[in-house]
Amino acid sequence: MTSTTLLDALAAIVGPNGLLTAAGDIAPYLTDWRGIYAGKAVAVVRPANRDELAKTVALCAEKKIVVVPQGGNTGMCGAATPATGGQNIVICLSRMNRIIDVDALNNTVTVEAGCILANIQQAAADAGRLFPLSLGAEGSCQIGGNLSTNAGGVNVLRYGNTRDLVLGLEVVLPDGRVWNGLRALRKDNTGYDLKHLFIGAEGTLGIISAAVLKLFPRPRSQAVALAVVTDPNAAVALLSILRAQCGDCVTAFELISRSCIELVLAHIPGTRDPFNQAHAWYVLTQLGDSGDDAALQAKIETALAQADEQGLVHDAAIAATQAQVAALWKLRESIPDAARDAGLVYRHDISVAVSKIPAFIGAAGAALEAHFPGTRVICFGHLGDGNLHYNAFVPGRERSDAAARDAIDVNRVVHDVVNSMQGSISAEHGIGQSKRAELARCKDPLELELMRSVKQALDPDGRMNPGKIF
């Protein structure tokens, strides 16, 4: 099939508004948001509904065309960027953005894959409920991408990863058939739970078209504090105190190093340091409950006072208004953008047992300094669930240098420390293109064999988002 014939066939399925072919129109879909990966595509197809999506995938299967699913294109690992060669079709789900149903009594919301995360959060709020998935890109990322990467975010401590928030899925398979698993059931013990194959698969097994998501009672009160801690050991001890005092009220617990604060203050307008002097380590924590604000404020003050008595906390800023809450969270959520603006950063999305976080930080820092003297570490992340974004600027390496961008020597130093602690090299960002080599190096060979068996069974031609994960 010639390119012209293929484009005509695609246009017949999705209409003129659903097909982009001009170079200027498709360019934004061919590069990841970090500007690290770039590819080529014959066209970008934007189906308006599941039927158009299924027909598009079926046509690509018939003509042996590679399919690259894409959501909001906010991923960290290049999983939604096409390869540089061959006939690639990018399928963008942004027009499939309906909130199909909100069932407040069942605490579920059914949505299409192109729904922006913030819009789902708002739909839940309008029904007096909470959809707890929350991350820095929530104003532009799409739920299909969140599902495909098993996104984490700041509320994993209480509510779990995206995988834990899903009851049912609808998926267009590589041959164009549709698996309808949109069941809003919390108990369904009828064999293999197939939805978990597609969550975290990065579009390599099929394209998620819709999902049934869990909702929760909306907290009526919250308390947010930025505490100065002595060191990461003190941060872990503070977490223990908070959980003992507040139980499941602790929804977020974020470790932030001083280098992160300095980056944000330098690169993000409208931010300011809450303290009069610099400190090496901070913890941003949030509590949520069904009671009143005063009771929750008292809980966090009691916990911080106990930590102060034990020499764990030296100062704290407790938000008194929503504006102050927003300002504290802006410091945390702006770190990735600030790091991107500062130059070439080697990003690591690792997890180890919470109790091993301090040891990891010490060992990784020493290993980087030994191999790359003068490395500047940007350490922050979800200490409450053992996930750190442990990033590094290496002297003399610039984003303009392709060899420096492609180098994985820095990553391997960090990942070797992770492996020595039985951790994971990808806690929430996925594998994509950036971690393929490291996955093959770090993952158990039998696990990789089983994963490839699943891939072969569902996508024997290898057309679904090739070059990602494997």
Average pLDDT over residues 93-114: 98
CATH architecture label of 99-217: 2-Layer Sandwich (3.30)
Residues 6+ apart with CB under 8 A from 155: 132, 133, 134, 251, 252
Average pLDDT over residues 234-242: 97
Strands 207-214 and 166-172: antiparallel
pLDDT in tens, 172-181: 999 999 999 9
Which class would CATH give 221-336? alpha beta
Average pLDDT over every residue of 198-220: 97
Percent residues over pLDDT 70 in the chain: 99
Q: What pLDDT band is residue 87 in, cutting at 50, 70 and 90?
A: confident
Instruction: Report pTM.
Output: 0.92
Q: Do the two domains 221-336 and 343-428 of this chain adopt the same fold?
A: yes
End-to-end Cα spacing for the chain: 28
Domain-wise residue ranges, the chain: 3-95, 99-217, 221-336, 343-428
Looking at residue 340, its pLDDT comes to 83
Give pLDDT, residue 402.
87
> What pLDDT is attached to residue 406?
86
Among 3.30.750.24, 3.40.50.970, 3.10.180.10, 3.30.43.10, name the CATH number for the domain at 3-95.
3.30.43.10
Provide the pLDDT for residue 193. Answer: 96
Q: If pLDDT is split at 50, 70 and 90, which confidence band does 35 have? A: confident
Classify domain 343-428 at the CATH class level. alpha beta
- How many residues appear in the chain? 470
With a pLDDT cut of 90, the percent of the chain lying above it is 89
Tell me: pLDDT of 86 over 80.
no
Residue 300 main-chain phi, psi, to 5 deg = -70, -35
What pLDDT score does 2 carry?
63
- Give the confidence band of 1 by pLDDT, cuts at 50, 70, 90: low
Lowest mean pLDDT segment, chosen from 7-16, 122-131, 298-307, 398-407: 398-407
Compute CA distances 353 → 69, 106, 419, 420, 430, whole Å: 33, 34, 12, 12, 19
pLDDT bin (cut points 50, 70, 90) of residue 400 is confident
* C-alpha closest to that of 233 among 255, 215, 248, 218: 255
Whether the pLDDT of residue 278 is over 90: the answer is yes
Secondary-structure breakdown of the chain: helix, strand, coil percentages, each rounded to the nearest 5 = 40, 20, 40
Distance CA 389, CA 91 (A): 30
Average pLDDT (135-152) is: 95
Would you say residue 67 has pLDDT above 70? yes
Confidence band for 207, pLDDT divided at 50, 70 and 90? very high
Give the pLDDT mean for 227-246.
96
Could you report the per-residue pLDDT of 440-457, keeping only the tens digit for each? 999 999 999 999 999 999
